[in-house]
Structure 1
Amino acid sequence: MSYPLETDDTPIKIRAVNKSISPRWLKLQSRLKGIFLPILLVILCEVFVRTGFIASYLLPAPSSLWQSLVELAKGDLWQHIWTSTWRVFFGFFIGSGLALIFAIFVGLNKHAEDFLEPSFSALKSIPSLAWIPLLLLWLGIDETSKITLIAIGAFFPTYTNAVAAIQGVDRKLIEVAQVYRLKYFQQIKEIILPAASPGILTGLRNSLSLSWLFMIAAELIAATQGIGYLLSDGRETSRPDIVIIAIILLAILGKISDGLMKLIENKQLRWRDVVKK
């Protein structure tokens, strides 16, 4: 149940009802709404498989996944999770770090933009799978090729958003910095980067999400460990339960990593709450 925003013209009864509702109850309502569709989907899958509407060799019943998860947990499941996670974050830090350096350079220097932007725009249009054969030829099937592919996936969202955010900084802020005779690097540190931080952080969140995507692409092609390897192994051995468990793990890990990035974003952008007030 939703209530209108309070204004000076809001009736007293509505304002009283709004104040009587606990914030915890509203938060609980929001979470219940968020899990409604997943629970409904699980129930429908269970019913369809148990009644024979869907063959169990195509889609296992959700209730049977627990046993498969226990079997995997007794084996190398945690090693697969750890391997994929460190690959994602290592590639993300390398790709995003380089992207921020180039974005600052391009966003603040017109000549750098003229030289680099056309090439980066062309590289950004290349599909992720197109890089895999070349990386395998150059770097082999070891970790280097996988980390490089993930770094490529993390580079462009951060670069694109950061350049747009830096170039969108109000020029009046820079003029104020010049009036106070701030040096060039002081302007970058104290004026430009804080003003562009919302766009930069948005790009970082998108990059982290794409890092998981590129990790799967790398592990599906050449890997002996990782969640992508579980997906490939489940397909080759006709084990849809393993495939579904791997997909669920990806959803959970992706949600956790995005939640961490959101916490960092909220902490860095606390000034927005002050402005809203």
Structure 2
Amino acid sequence: MTDLLAKARTADTETVTPQPGGPRNTEGTARVSKGTRRRLGPGRALPFGRLIGPALLVLAWWAASASGHLDPRILSSPGTVLATAGDLVATGRLQDNVLISLQRAGLGLFFGVTAGVILAVAAGLSRGGEYLLDGPLQIKRAIPSLAMLPLLILWLGIGEQMKVTVIALGVAVNMYINTYASLTGIDSRYVELAEGLDLNRATFIRKVVVPGSLPGFFVGLRLGVTSSWLGLIVVEQINATSGIGYMMFQAQQYAQSDVIIVGLVAYVIFGFASDAAVRAVERKALSWRRTLAG
């Protein structure tokens, strides 16, 4: 990276600075002044550009249903799904199930984020913590949270405690891995500078550790939000009596693809909205960075 920046500065100097007593390179100077350098980045971001892909997908679905190429017994049309969603809202069934699902996902996300960050800080700032915690957590990363369902059911039963625990485990591992990697990746020169300035532990964490680990924290948070919704889908189909997953499981018993699609759309909306919220907070918190994402 340093070599590229040095070459760029050298190229600018060589192009713009005329040679003493020699002919003026008006063509090269004009080319630089007009800013016609080759663009290598992804280009300017469009407002709400991330909605283009989902919108095209819905349009393709609508066209396939309207043209008769899509069997409604396999996948209901968008119009049928909208009508079913209206009926579910009118009866209050959708709202009740959504609130239960949001409560489960929110609790699992809260406990998972809290545990993951605490473990990452303990392992990243202490050799003793690293030796005690990193090994077991790396082992846990190799074991999917859903593979632990039989053991968690044996320990916690099939109630809400088990469901929240499954979600929290998936979130905690994502938070730990990314926050720990970002924290331990902080340049050691900053640590030496803090030691040279005789900073205390609290100031060191506030001035060096927190800014240095924020990029990894937000990556882990985005993955954790996604993990919370994935875990929710599974746990709500295990002896549940409410929630979006339960509603979809019941619809599957009666081949109601329209109700299943409504549930999937609800998951998509909440997943997309939560990820967008994390992105917005990330851009605000890391506004000092200049990246390809803009």
TM-score by length of 1: 0.85
- The one-letter amino acid paired with 1:177 is A
Query: Partner residue of 1:93?
Result: 110
1:43 aligns with 2:59: no
C-alpha RMSD over aligned residues: 2.6
TM-score by length of 2: 0.80
Partner of 2:282: 265
State the 1:135 CA deviation.
1.9
Range with greater deviation from structure 2 (121-130 or 144-153): 121-130
Q: Return the offset for 1:273.
A: 4.8
Shift of 1:128: 2.6
> Match of 2:186?
169
Give the distance between the partners of 1:79 and 1:147, measured in 2 at CA: 18
* 1:3 counterpart residue number: none
Tell me: CA distance 1:35–1:232, structure 2 relative to 1, closer, same or farther (3 Å): closer
Shift in Å, 1:115: 2.2
CA shift in 2, pair 1:35/1:28, >3 Å: farther
Aligned to 2:6: none
Equivalent in the alignment of 1:252: 269
Percent identity (aligned): 30
Mapped contact 1:46–1:63 kept (Cα < 8 A): no
Q: Establish whether residue 150 from structure 1 lines up as the match of residue 167 from structure 2.
A: yes
Determine the structure 1 residue equivalent to 2:228: 211
Does structure 2 retain, via aligned residues, the 8 Å contact 1:45–1:62? no
Distance of 1:98 and 1:138 partners within structure 2: 20
With 38-47 and 88-97 compared, the bigger mean Cα shift is at 38-47
Q: Measured at CA, do residues 11 and 243 of structure 1 come closer, stay the same or move farther in structure 2, by a change above 3 Å? A: farther
Residue identity opposite 1:41 in structure 2: A
Unaligned runs of 5+ in 1: 1-6, 16-22
The corresponding residue for 1:65 is: 81
1:9 match: 31
What is the distance in 2 between the residues matched to 1:212 and 1:96? Answer: 14
Give runs of ≥4 in structure 1 deviating > 4 Å.
10-15
Larger relative helix fraction? 1
Describe the shift of the 1:196–1:134 C-alpha distance in structure 2 as closer, same or farther (beyond 3 A).
Answer: same
Task: For residues 68-126 of structure 1, give each alpha carbon's deviation from its aligned partner in whole angstroms, at most 9, with x where no partner exists.
Answer: 11111122111111111121111111011111111011111222222222211111111
1:80-119 alignment, distance < 5 Å: 80-119=97-136
The runs of 5 or more residues in structure 2 that have no matched partner are: 1-11, 13-29, 38-43
For residues 84 and 33 of structure 1, the distance between their equivalents in structure 2, rounded to whole angstroms, comes to 28
Q: Provide closer, same or farther for how the CA distance between residues 11 and 247 of structure 1 changes in structure 2, counting only shifts above 3 A.
A: farther
CA distance in 2, matches of 1:201, 1:69: 33
**Counterpart in 1 of 2:198?**
181
Choose from 33, 51, 55 the match for 2:71.
55
Q: Aligned equivalents of 1:128 and 1:29: distance in 2?
A: 34
SS at match of 1:84: helix
Q: Which stretch of structure 1 is more off in the superposition, 126-135 or 166-175?
A: 126-135
Larger radius of gyration: 2
Deviations 1:6-50 (A, max 9, x none): x983685989xxxxxxx9xx73694674455223322233135xx
- When residues 181 and 227 of structure 1 are mapped into structure 2, their CA distance, relative to the original with a 3 A threshold, is same
Deviation at 1:192, TM superposition (A): 1.1
Tell me, yes or no, if the aligned pair for 1:103 and 1:160 is still in contact at 8 Å.
Answer: yes
CA, structure 1 residues 247+137, in 2 after alignment: closer, same or farther (shift >3 Å)? same
Give the number of aligned pairs: 258
- Tell me which amino acid in the other structure corresponds to 2:59: L
